[in-house]
Structure 1
């Protein structure tokens, strides 16, 4: 499949945050090699190890989903945002313009993140527990959250996934067990 790449959570390199509060494992960004100021979209997994502020990303729409751990409380000091990210696999969307602070609800947490440049890209994030047809999108990410999946002709074990860019791709996602779960992110022009 053209422009489709495999990844595994265990082999993604971890980059420490500037504030020392965690690490990020980038899955993919567009355009390839774009820095934090130049991406159109970006998907990553972060470990939040300490309470503290999130980085502000002006002009960016963000979605976050708890993968493992006790979770965090996300809030703004003016009260516009107040959310407990403490249930795994439930996406929460917010603006990167907001000065979000976070408080750990226990130990460190791992979360899945998608950021899209507002007005240019839009992400549609779905959590799937059953066989599904995933509509074609020019960009996207699939990650097996639990169990194994067959994604078209590709087998993906738990913690593995696929991402694609700049090539319209539709998927047939079929779980290979009863308790399997997959996150599917379609990234389309806004």
Structure 2
């Protein structure tokens, strides 16, 4: 990743339909050989109807509700049953098992982080006050509500930056910034 910040606007990222037709995904960025063989992946999904979530063996996932009433995520064996109904509350789970997603009350939008277990890990947080993020190999910040100024760049909702260094960010009352720190696992 280059040292220069890379700006993105979700409205300018072409939606890719899911294979099952239940939604679309806008891929923000990925690291690795290809989008299909990634070490990490950042995306936003629009879920239009009840649908299965594909299994991603060896992948750790984190999902954050951005808009809508949310969905209930259940594993077929009942070991996972989670109501994703609180906006901006990160939920982490293993991608090893396929899940069924049932919408609570209409379509929803969610942010997703996927990392290859043992190679990368993600720390996902919501910032609501002035701050500086700790160093990471890759940092993504995305404005969710309000307007933000990050490293001198003003962001509106659903705009963000990918950076190789942590940003200094300032924001106004009622603003929310989704922050992801991607850390390469360097253990032997």
TM-score tier by shorter-chain length is over 0.9
- Checking the alignment, whether the CA contact within 8 Å between 2:139 and 2:166 is kept in structure 1 is no
Mapping 1:136-155, distance limit 5 Å: 136-155=135-154
Give the aligned partner of residue 166 of structure 2.
170
| Superposition deviation, residue 45 in structure 1 | 0.2
The SS at the match of 1:6 is strand
Structure 2 unaligned blocks of 5 or more? none
Q: Matched residues in 2 for 1:113 and 1:26: separation?
A: 9
The TM-score normalised by the length of structure 2 is 0.94
Give the aligned partner of residue 15 of structure 2.
14
The TM-score normalised by the length of structure 1 is 0.93
The SS at the match of 1:136 is coil
| Superposition deviation, residue 148 in structure 1 | 1.0
Q: Are 1:187 and 2:182 an aligned pair?
A: yes
Structure 1 unaligned blocks of 5 or more? none
Aligned pairs, how many?
184
The SS at the match of 1:10 is helix
* C-alpha RMSD of matched pairs (Å): 1.3
Q: Matched residues in 1 for 2:4 and 2:31: separation?
A: 12
Find runs of 4+ consecutive structure 1 residues off by over 4 angstroms: none
Give the aligned partner of residue 112 of structure 1.
111
Which is worse superposed, 155-164 or 12-21?
A: 155-164
| Superposition deviation, residue 140 in structure 1 | 2.2
Deviation string 1:137-157 (CA, Å, 9 cap, x unpaired) is: 111210001111111222212
